Amino acid sequence: MCESAASFISKNNEYAISAVSRVVDLSQKTIRDYEKMGFIKPRRNPRTNNRIYSDFEIEQIRQISRLIHNEGFTLPCIQRLLQLAPCWSIFDCEVKEKCPAYEYTPIPCYKTRENRETLCGGDCEQCAVYINRSSKKEKVLEGPR
């Protein structure tokens, strides 16, 4: 991370959208669009209702941005990918060989976590894979109508 971006980092690892925007070099609108598409799910400050981002969400934003800008994926394509592919293949996990979610590939990572701890650093409810898996696979495989 560059020094100018580091100056916006919070000591308690909670960030406002303005700080996240500077750190990931994306507009606030783009970050909100990622939220609308189900790629991230920041918590809300109970008093102000402002979005609060963690390091986990920042890393997901970076990965989504990388898929778009470096790999040529579209937003709908990423949404479909999140519904079908395992988390470790989407988010380029460096420790996947040590993770139970990788060992039990047919089982989604959030289901694996019900019985075994995974190496993911975030809560399932905040994860793009979990958020987008609410759709049934059969429905996804049918394609657009």
Inter-CA distances, 97 with 16, 38, 86, Å? 34, 27, 13
- CB count, 10 Å around CB of 97? 10
- Structure tokens, 137: 């696979």
Inter-CA distances, 21 with 16, 56, 94, Å? 9, 15, 25
CA distance 89 to 102: 9
| pLDDT (0 to 100) of residue 84 | 77
For residue 91, with 0-12 CB atoms within 10 Å meaning exposed, 13-18 middle and 19 or more buried, which class applies? Answer: buried
pTM check: above 0.75:
no
Please give the sequence-ordered ranges of beta strands (E in DSSP) within the chain, or none if there are none: 43-44, 51-52
| pLDDT (0 to 100) of residue 98 | 73
The partner residues of 15 in beta bridges, in order of sequence, read 53
Domains of the chain: residue spans and CATH: 10-133 (1.10.1660.10)
Phi/psi at 18 (5° precision) = -65, -40
- Structure tokens, 61: 């934003």
Q: Tens-of-pLDDT digits for all 145 residues of the chain? A: 333 333 344 446 899 999 999 999 999 999 999 999 888 889 999 999 999 999 989 988 999 999 999 999 999 888 888 777 777 677 766 776 777 777 766 667 777 767 777 666 666 666 666 666 655 444 545 555 5
